[in-house]
Amino acid sequence: MDTIGYRDVVGWLRAFAAVVSEKKEFLTELDAAIGDADHGINMNRGMSAALGVIDDHAKEDIGALLKAVAMKLISTVGGASGPLYGTLFLQMSTRTGGASELTAAQWVDALTAGRDGVVARGKAEMGDKTMVDALTPAVDAAREAADAGESPAAVLRASADAAATGVEATIPLVARKGRASYLGERSAGHQDPGATSTYLLLDAAAGAIGAG
């Protein structure tokens, strides 16, 4: 497999919706420890609604699909996760408009744009104990793999593995952004829920597309 096709992207989004549904209690428990105990519920509400958008989407245009998913998440997730995940997909859509397939390098460009959008929206940096702590290592690893000429499947696996490491690294951190920052030192010792759902997103890509 040399490229990531429209059907692969559909498979990825469906796989993410499935894993969010399966793990919604886990994500909510992580959030209950340091936030307001709704991350799994909110993400599941958003991705369930996004499934309807995916089912209804007729044209094989990756950018248009990602934009439709972004708008659905923006209107259904709420809180801070809605605008952050909405921005991630919206920025990815700006780099993939009109495309029915993507090279590994194009995927990395889209993911980078998504990450940059999330950073701009949330104003979080690496080490603030947010989704950026999973997303940025994932983007870096994906770029390195793509630059080395790896296949899309290998690029996606590299980014998911880096995200997993990033999630682990959030555990000892003291939160500096988001609701967890209200807890100060008491936020240390807990895995960040937003970083965790970001890992699930990238792992779903590796699983769905890598397997395809």
Partner 1 sequence: MKKLINSPEDVVSEALRGMEAAHADLVRVNHDPKYLVRADAPVKGKTAIISGGGSGHEPMHGGFVGRGMLDGACPGEVFTSPTPDQMLDCTKAVDGGAGVLHIVKNYTGDVMNFELAADLARGEGIEVEAVVIDDDVAVKDSLYTAGRRGVGATVLAEKVCGAAAEEGRSLADVAQLCRDVNANARSMGMALTSCTVPAAGKPTFELGDDEMEIGIGIHGEPGRERKPAASASEVTAMLAEPVIEDLGLGSGESVLAFVNSMGGTPLIELYIVFNELKAILDARNITIGRHLIGPFITSLEMAGCSITLLRLNDEMTRLWDAPVHTAALRWGA
Interface ranges with partner 1 (CB under 8 A) = 71, 74-80, 82-84, 86-87, 121-122, 176, 178-179, 181-184
In whole angstroms, the minimum distance from the beta carbon of 191 to partner 1 comes to 20
The residue (of 117 and 207) whose beta carbon lies closer to partner 1 is: 117
The residue (of 7 and 177) whose beta carbon lies closer to partner 1 is: 177
In whole angstroms, the minimum distance from the beta carbon of 138 to partner 1 comes to 22
In whole angstroms, the minimum distance from the beta carbon of 87 to partner 1 comes to 6
In whole angstroms, the minimum distance from the beta carbon of 79 to partner 1 comes to 5
Rounded to a whole number, what is the distance in angstroms from the first to the last CA of the chain? Answer: 8
Q: Work out whether strand 4-5 and strand 101-102 pair parallel, antiparallel, or are unpaired.
A: antiparallel
In whole angstroms, the minimum distance from the beta carbon of 115 to partner 1 comes to 16
The residue (of 86 and 166) whose beta carbon lies closer to partner 1 is: 86
The residue (of 28 and 159) whose beta carbon lies closer to partner 1 is: 28
The residue (of 40 and 83) whose beta carbon lies closer to partner 1 is: 83
